[in-house]
C-alpha cells in the first residue's frame, strides 16, 4: 500500500524581515551607547574676578585643571595626574622668561591646583599666574 500521496514538498524560504529588525535594534543600541567626545577640548568653569584683562605674553604655558583633577598642557591632555608626570612634561617647556598660567575649574580640588604649582616649582617655572573669568562674561 502506498500511503504517500503525490505531495510536493514546499521549497524552504528564508524570511529576512526578523533579521533586519534585529540589525536595526543593534544599530540603534550602538548609536546610543557610543561616546562622541573630543579629547582636544576641556570644559572649564573658571572662577570670576574683577581685574583688568592682561595682555597675552608670547611665552605662556597654559596648564588647565578640570573639576575631576585631570590636567592639560596647552590644550593637550596629560596622561597622568601625578606631580612627577606634570613635571616631566613641563621641564621641556620651561624657559627663563616662560609664564605658567594655571586655568583651574572653579570646582577643581585645592590639591590638584597645589600639585600643578608643585610641578611648576620642580620644573623651574617661577612666574605663575591664575586665569579667571571677568564678572561681566559670567552668566547665570
Instruction: Report yes or no on 92 lying in a domain.
Output: yes
The range of the structural domain enclosing residue 94 comes to: 57-134
Instruction: Report yes or no on 126 lying in a domain.
Output: yes
Instruction: Report yes or no on 105 lying in a domain.
Output: yes
Question: For the chain, how many structural domains are there in total?
Answer: 1
Instruction: Report yes or no on 129 lying in a domain.
Output: yes
Cell 621641564 sits on residue: 91
Choose among 96, 104, 45: nearest CA to 72: 104
Instruction: Report yes or no on 35 lying in a domain.
Output: no
Choose among 97, 2, 104, 117: nearest CA to 46: 104
Instruction: Report yes or no on 82 lying in a domain.
Output: yes
- CATH label of the domain that carries residue 88: 3.30.420.270
pLDDT tens, the chain, 140 aa long: 566 666 677 788 888 999 999 999 999 998 888 776 655 566 666 666 665 665 666 788 888 888 888 898 888 888 877 888 888 888 888 877 888 888 888 888 888 888 888 888 888 888 888 887 665 544 44
Amino acid at each position: 500500500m502506498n500511503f504517500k500521496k503525490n505531495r510536493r514538498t514546499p521549497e524552504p524560504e528564508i524570511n529576512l524581515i526578523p533579521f533586519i529588525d534585529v540589525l536595526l535594534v543593534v544599530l540603534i543600541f550602538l548609536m546610543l551607547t557610543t561616546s562622541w567626545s573630543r579629547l582636544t577640548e576641556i570644559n572649564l568653569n573658571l572662577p570670576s574676578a574683577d581685574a583688568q584683562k592682561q595682555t597675552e605674553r608670547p611665552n605662556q604655558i597654559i596648564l588647565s585643571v578640570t573639576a575631576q583633577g585631570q590636567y592639560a598642557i596647552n590644550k593637550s591632555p596629560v596622561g597622568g595626574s601625578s606631580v612627577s608626570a606634570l613635571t616631566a612634561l613641563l621641564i621641556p617647556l620651561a624657559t627663563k622668561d616662560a609664564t605658567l598660567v594655571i586655568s583651574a575649574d572653579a570646582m577643581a580640588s585645592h590639591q590638584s591646583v597645589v600639585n600643578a604649582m608643585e610641578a611648576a616649582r620642580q620644573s623651574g617655572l617661577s612666574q605663575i599666574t591664575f586665569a579667571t573669568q571677568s564678572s561681566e562674561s559670567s552668566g547665570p
